Each structure stands twice: as C-alpha cells, then as structure tokens.
Amino acid sequence: MKLLITGGAGFIGSNFIRYWLEQHSEDRIVNLDALTYAGNLENLKGLDESRHSFIQGDVRNPEDVSRAMDDVDVVVHFAAESHVDRSIDGGRVFLETNVIGTFNLLEEVRRRENQIKRFHHISTDEVFGSLSLDEPRRFDERSPHDARSPYSASKVAAEHLVRAYCHTHNLPFTISNCSNNYGPYHHPEKLIPLMITRALRDEPLPVYGDGLNIRDWIHVADHCRGIEAILLRGKEGETYCLGGDSEVPNIEVVKSILRHLGKPESLISYVEDRKGHDRRYAIDSSKAQRELGWQPQYSFEAGLQDTINWYLANRSWWEPLLAKN
Ligand SMILES: NC(=O)c1ccc[n+]([C@@H]2O[C@H](COP(=O)([O-])OP(=O)(O)OC[C@H]3O[C@@H](n4cnc5c(N)ncnc54)[C@H](O)[C@@H]3O)[C@@H](O)[C@H]2O)c1
C-alpha cells in the first residue's frame, strides 16, 4: 500500500511516518510538506529512502497536491497551521492552509474517483470548544462544534468540508479528533517542549493566567496507534475521538517537568492569559476503545519522563529551532 502523508515533516506527521514504516514493512509513504517554520527535515532523518519519499510542496497549491497523489491508495491529512497563539496574531494562513488546503486534497481525491481507498482527516478536540473545570462532562463524537479560536474555527471548517464533500461525492473518509499530544520532535513553541527547553536553560517558565487550564494529554505514540486502528478497522464515514485519559492542569504539567529535571519552582512566571483561553478539554474515547480495540498505553507521568529524556538526549535537534525564533 502507498500512503500520502501531508505535513509529515511536522511533529505528529513525522512520528506517524516512523511508526507506520516500522509496523508495515511492505508499505511506502510519500510525504508532502511545505516546510514552514514547523516542518523540519531533521524529523525524518534515518528513514529508509526506498520506502519514504519527500515532496516539498504546499497543500494550498492544487498542482503540488495532484503531483503527490500519483499511485497513492490512502491519504492521511496532517498538514496544518497548528499553533493557537499564532492564529490569534494572524488568522489568514490558518484559513488558507487548513481550509483551502483540505479543499484541494478533497478535490484531488474526487478527481481520482476509485483510486483513493481512504481519506483520513486529522482533527482536534479544540473544535468542540471549552468545558468548565467543575463539570464531569467530556467531549465525544456527538459533541457539537463550538470553535473559539481562529485555529479551531479553521479546523471546524475543514471537518465540515470533509464530511460534506465525502457525503456529496460518496468518497471514503474517516476523521479523528485527538486531544493534546506530547512526545519527541515537538516544536519548542508548544507548552511541554517550551517548558522543558526553558527549564534546561534555567529561563523563566511563562504560565498563562492562573495556570489551572486543563488539557487531556496523549502521548504521540498512542495517537499514532489510534490513527492506525482507524485506518485498519475504522468504518468509512465515521468520526473517532482519541484522548489520553490524562487530564492535567497546566501548572501541574510545569511543576512535574521541574520535578523531573530537579529545577526550582521559582522559575515559574505567571503571565497575562491567552486571549479567549479555553478552560478545559477532555475526551471520552470509549467509541474508539469499543469499536477499534484501541486504548492509550502511556500514563502521563511515564510519557512525560520519556519525553524529557528525549529532549535531554537531543539538544542538537531543538537548540537550532530556538535560534530561528
Ligand atoms: N499537536 C497536537 O496536540 C494536536 C492535537 C490534535 C490534532 N492535531 C492536528 O494534527 C495535525 C498535525 O499537528 P502537529 O502538531 O504535528 O503540527 P506541526 O505544526 O508540528 O506540523 C504541521 C506540518 O504541516 C506542514 N505544513 C503547514 N502548512 C503547510 C502547507 N500549506 N502545505 C504543506 N504542508 C504544510 C508544516 O511544514 C509542518 O511540517 C494538525 O492537523 C493539527 O491540527 C494536533
């Protein structure tokens, strides 16, 4: 089988490519990535070039998309602008990449009629909006969309396009909504690697607002296994929520990192809250557990320890990224 992975030079896409090539020794992957600030060829180092080919190209460009889809059986669409803070500073590229880029891929799938056996769209739990700290409710596949940042609005729009296009043109699709990922190759602009890399340099750790916002953390390896389960056992036309069963307040994430690294809590610096900051995300993944036989394997503490060890062992990966910002 040949898979087209979009955004495969980013955090989750590159982890997925490594995982898939290890698990599926007959398969080949073509990776279409524009190499924005978030894309990094270092994430792909050491991959077997006879089974992984890289195309530098842009999902906003229909010709790049068409070129990448030759001989492909399955598309897994990760490519996106992914950082909420950047979407607050300027939303246009989020609409262009996340919405028009998804549209271009769907157009190409449609043009190729029976060639593509599955279009899997990677979405996020952020499309469901925000939960309060004191309610037991979690998001699941029936939760309504309630985007609250330009990023999540662009992901909602993309999801609607996938469903509408595939319904209209009878295309085989699946969608996953995943909670916050962490693990190796995560760009240091995001919470966990930001805190690890700053703590390692004894720099202040900026915590938004009161630090009590909760995210449901999932190790990227568990996310990759979840996508695999959907591709192999998921039903066409279905959506699956994937979560880590690990709700942790941001301030506890930061304190755990300091504890693991033996650094003082005096490094914590509370800063002005993010505009429109969602209070809590939590995912109920019982549908994926029941129907796909998938469940997250990492506890947050074990996954965090592994992740910290990876950043300790891979300074040469992340230090150049800090110099670029
Ligand atoms: N990181 C998370 O916690 C999380 C959680 C749920 C869902 N998601 C979704 O997973 C996907 C991947 O997220 P990530 O954290 O790996 O993001 P990332 O920012 O690390 O990687 C995105 C990749 O897409 C590429 N890209 C950006 N614009 C492009 C374009 N116009 N054309 C081609 N390539 C382009 C970038 O170069 C980069 O390699 C996204 O769709 C995101 O919405 C992420």
Q: Write out pLDDT tens, residues 300-310.
A: 999 999 999 99
Is residue 149 lining ligand 1, measured as CB closer than 6 Å? no
Catalytic residue flag (residue 126): yes
pLDDT of 321 over the 70 cut = yes
How much is the pTM?
Answer: 0.98
Are the C-beta atoms of residues 243 and 284 closer than 8 Å to each other?
Answer: yes
pLDDT value of position 223: 98
Please, what CATH class does the domain formed by 2-182+219-244+279-298 belong to? alpha beta
Percent of the chain with pLDDT over 70: 100
Is residue 78 lining ligand 1, measured as CB closer than 6 Å? yes
Residue with tokens 């110099």: 323
Exposed e or buried b per residue across 172-204, where buried means at least 16 C-beta atoms within 10 angstroms of its C-beta? ebbbbbbbbbbbbbbbbbbbbbbbbbbbbeeee
Give the closest residue (by CA) to ligand 1 atom 42.
82
Q: Write out pLDDT tens, residues 1-41.
A: 999 999 999 999 999 999 999 999 999 999 999 999 999 99
C-alpha dist (Å) from residue 221 to 52, 55, 91, 285, 286: 19, 24, 29, 16, 18
Give the Å distance between the CA of 266 and the centre of ligand 1. 33
Q: Write out pLDDT tens, residues 131-161.
A: 999 999 999 999 999 999 999 999 999 999 9
The preferred substitution site among 14, 17, 35, 36 for testing ligand 1, maximizing ligand atoms within 8 Å of CB, is 36
Tell me how many degrees the CA angle 162-36-152 measures, rounded to the nearest 5. 40
How does DSSP classify residue 131? Answer: B
Catalytic-role residue among 33, 64, 151, 222: 151
pLDDT value of position 113: 83
Q: Write out pLDDT tens, residues 228-281.
A: 999 999 999 999 999 999 999 999 999 999 999 999 999 999 999 999 999 999
Catalytic-role residue among 64, 81, 125, 245: 125
Catalytic residue flag (residue 125): yes
Give the Å distance between the CA of 179 and the centre of ligand 1. 14
Give the closest residue (by CA) to ligand 1 atom 22.
10
Q: Write out pLDDT tens, residues 78-126.
A: 999 999 999 999 999 999 999 999 999 999 999 998 999 999 999 999 9
Write the DSSP string, 151-178. Answer: HHHHHHHHHHHHHHHHHHHT--EEEEEE
pLDDT of 325 over the 70 cut = no
How does DSSP classify residue 73? Answer: S
Is residue 88 lining ligand 1, measured as CB closer than 6 Å? no
Alpha carbons within 13 A on the beta-carbon side of 300: 21
Q: Write out pLDDT tens, residues 148-194.
A: 999 999 999 999 999 999 999 999 999 999 999 999 999 999 999 99
Q: Write out pLDDT tens, residues 57-78.
A: 999 999 999 999 999 999 999 9
Give the Å distance between the CA of 29 and the centre of ligand 1. 17
Are the C-beta atoms of residues 292 and 156 closer than 8 Å to each other?
Answer: no
3-state class (DSSP) for residue 248: strand
Q: Where are the domains of the chain?
A: 2-182+219-244+279-298
